[in-house]
Amino acid sequence: MANPTAPLLSVRDLTIMAGQRPLIRHCSWHVQAGEILIIVGESGSGKTTLLKTAAGIPDQDLACTDGEIAYAGVPLKRPSDWQALRSRDMQYLFQDALSSFCPVRTVYDQLWDAARFSGMPKDTFDQVLADRTAVLSLRSDALKTWPQNLSGGMIQRAELLFSLIQPPRLLFADEPTSAVDSVTQKKMAQALLRLRRHHRTAIVLVTHDIRLAAFLADTLLILKAGEIVEYGPAASLLAQPRSEYTRRLLTLSGLKGGDLHASGN
């Protein structure tokens, strides 16, 4: 039975192995309803491995050898436990956004299928779609084509529409703005903030872009070589990073401690 006082998602002492090689070592973190947790690290740090495992879609050649993942205080142990939560409770945005779409059906039809399955009337769907595409600077009619006909930036925004039309309780996002320009990135970030503000969606987002993390995060988790280097409130962590690794990430991004932190907007 769900525990209303428990974190929406909690990860405790998680270890993930590729054969005899550890990819994630004893990671513990949690996210509350309405919280934005950003996982930051360089390429190869284990960000996507950690995110996919928490979302119940781990790579088949990996194994969790220790730890526990729980949703609202209820341990998730079998693939069916996660499957029962998908769509209405959990959604996942892949870095390769085409992975979220069938190649032989239009983007519009697939978005409508998801909305129809939840019981949304067609006229309501069209109104909501028009509003959400405007937020992301997309044209609704541009979605009436095959997914592979859209640019990388357009398909990433189209993938985000699933969550904006049917807001989940928990959203996992793997580099959701990697294919867009800085102006579009800001619009997508603002859409995520709106999702949190209006629907109390918890968001766990992976990025190597510490500027995006500084803009969005309530909480930061800095990951290096599969281990947590720092974890805590974003404002204080950015203002006074404790580790040399975090300071180096800030320096490489051009940020300094105390720079803009906007997720409370």
As averages over each run of 10 residues, the pLDDT of the chain (265 residues) reads 85 96 96 98 94 95 94 95 90 94 96 93 96 92 94 96 96 95 94 96 95 95 97 94 92 66 48
Which string of b and e fits 99-115 if b means at least 16 CB within 10 Å? Answer: ebbeeeebbbebbbebb
Sign of the C-alpha dihedral computed for residues 216, 37, 207 and 162 taken in this order: negative
Beta strands at 74-75 and 63-71: parallel, antiparallel or unpaired:
antiparallel
With beta carbons less than 8 A apart as the criterion, state whether 31 and 9 touch: yes
Q: Which domains does the chain have, with CATH numbers?
A: 1-84+209-265 (3.40.50.300)
pLDDT of residue 4: 75
pTM score above 0.75? yes
Q: What pLDDT shows up at residue 140? A: 81
3-state SS class at 93: strand
Residue 207's alpha-carbon distances to 51, 116, 175, in angstroms, are 11, 32, 5
Residue 67 CA to residue 137 CA, distance in Å, equals 42
Q: How many CB atoms lie within 10 A of CB 264?
A: 9
Q: Say what the pLDDT of residue 1 is.
A: 64
